[in-house]
Amino acid sequence: MPRPKILIIEDDRSLAEVLEYNLNGAGYETIWAMDGQDGLNQARLRLPDLILLDLMIPVLDGLDVCKFLRASSDTRDIPIMMLTAKGEETDELIGFSVGADDYVIKPFSVKILLERIKSLLRRRSRVLNTGADTTTQSGVTIDRIKHRVSLDGTPIDLTASEFRLLDTLIRQPGRAFDRSELIDAALGADTLVLERTIDVHIRSLRKKLGEEKQLIQTVRGVGYRFRESV
């Protein structure tokens, strides 16, 4: 089997070399880009299985790189793990809001990082093995094989995390999920994120649903549910 490809977008040469050494030792193929524009080009050309993305990089910063990756049909489903020294809660929420799947604050343990990489890759592979290929509720259709979502036949572009979150809700319309359940089901039980991260994803989902945003209902004091069909 081919080794999973990981693209490292990092301008700190010493850190990139440490990451390459450990990732290669763990069985991954690595690609290294020193600035955001080169990283974006490498992602489009090589289509890696996962991207490690520093935020404070030259030419094109990490947030813009993430936005461009999520806007392209070729790269929007690639898991993105942000690596950054920016550890404020607002920084983390911004990272998730533009499409990051995980957010790791420097300095970090390489061993823990490797486990989080394995977790992201496992979650990505589970998308194709979750039961029925498609589900339709209230005009929203999820195609799990093609990893596409449409509303009344019109495609909707979602990040990988938004896709999993919507998929979790739409499978059981009417059921109220609390935030911790949504983190476990949609993002992974081994994911280290704040519960309010779910609120960021929900706001983004509602915005993309447009006039049908009310399909995702807030359950006061609990969490969220997908509206039952009448």
CATH number of 130-226: 1.10.10.10
57-113 tens-digit pLDDT: 999 999 999 999 988 877 888 999 999 888 787 888 888 888 888 888 888 889 999
76-90 tens-digit pLDDT: 889 999 998 887 878
> Do the Cβ atoms of 48 and 31 come closer than 8 Å?
yes
CATH number of 5-127: 3.40.50.2300
pLDDT of residue 207: 92
Task: Give the domain ranges of the chain.
Answer: 5-127, 130-226
H-helix segments, the chain: 13-25, 36-46, 62-71, 89-97, 110-126, 160-171, 179-182, 196-209
194-230 tens-digit pLDDT: 667 788 889 989 999 999 999 999 999 889 999 987 6
d(CA 106, CA 12): 12
